[in-house]
Amino acid sequence: MAGAADEVSRAAGFGGRIRMRKWPMDCDRVVIAAGRSGAVPSYFDSAVAGLGASPISSLGAGFARVAEGEPVLVDIVHLHRGYVSDCTRMFSAGRLSDEWMQRLDDMAQVRDLVVDSLGKGDDCSAVWDAGSSLVAEMGHGEHLMGMPPDQAKFLGHSIGLELDETPVVARGFDRPLQVGGTMAIEPKVIYPEGAIGTEDSWVRTSDGMECLTMGKSFPILTEW
């Protein structure tokens, strides 16, 4: 599956390298995590990293087989002429359970809150407080962006020429996303049996947030 995604990106002009600001972080541009592989923590500071091809680099797609009815998270970074886009969609071979569907619906609500708040110019730290509080009210507090002690404490990260730019929707970033700023917004929850969530890349305009990736034109869940 990762190979097919790479083929599409290469044909669209992806140059093969993702720049990151935080040293010595590196990144596999295609993370595909099926079922329990979505719950495995990693050195990478993110909610989901995937098993990877070997233990020496536990990041990206591994060799797990997709089982019927389990969540398959596909997180793809693409670069077009040097500029980063970041997008996550969910897939399932067969129907997801009602419990997983509710978790995905909850993350869509959190996404909408984050997008609306950033578009109004709220400080990123305040958006984190509001978003994480909503997740806790939904009953997912111990599963937001990972499981203790391996939770990633953010709901969105700025992107541009690098994948991990600032500001971040997290504590300590007491400033808004400026007009013209671009950000990947990615609320996800992680449970022992898998991971689920959504992600799109956005730009703040004078009228609010504008989606740069597929947004609602590409369903957040595809069942086959």
Please give the C-alpha separations between residue 49 and each of 46, 52, 59, 164, 183, in angstroms, as whole numbers: 7, 8, 5, 15, 19
Task: Please provide the average confidence, as pLDDT, over all residues in the chain.
Answer: 92
151: containing domain: 2-223
Helix (H, G, I), strand (E, B) or coil at 91: strand
pLDDT value of residue 174: 98
Residue 116 above 90 pLDDT?
yes
pLDDT value of residue 24: 60
pLDDT value of residue 5: 85
pLDDT tens digits, 52-79: 887 777 777 888 889 999 999 999 998 8
- Give the percent of the chain with pLDDT over 70: 97
What CATH number does residue 116 fall under? Answer: 3.90.230.10
What are the percentages of helix, strand and coil residues in the chain, rounded to 5? Answer: 25, 25, 45
Number of domains in the chain: 1
Any idea which of 19-28, 42-51, 139-148, 196-205 has the lowest mean pLDDT?
Answer: 19-28
pLDDT value of residue 25: 63
Torsion sign over Cα 94, 99, 102, 103: negative
pLDDT value of residue 60: 77
Let me know: does 191 contact 107? Beta carbons within 8 Å: no
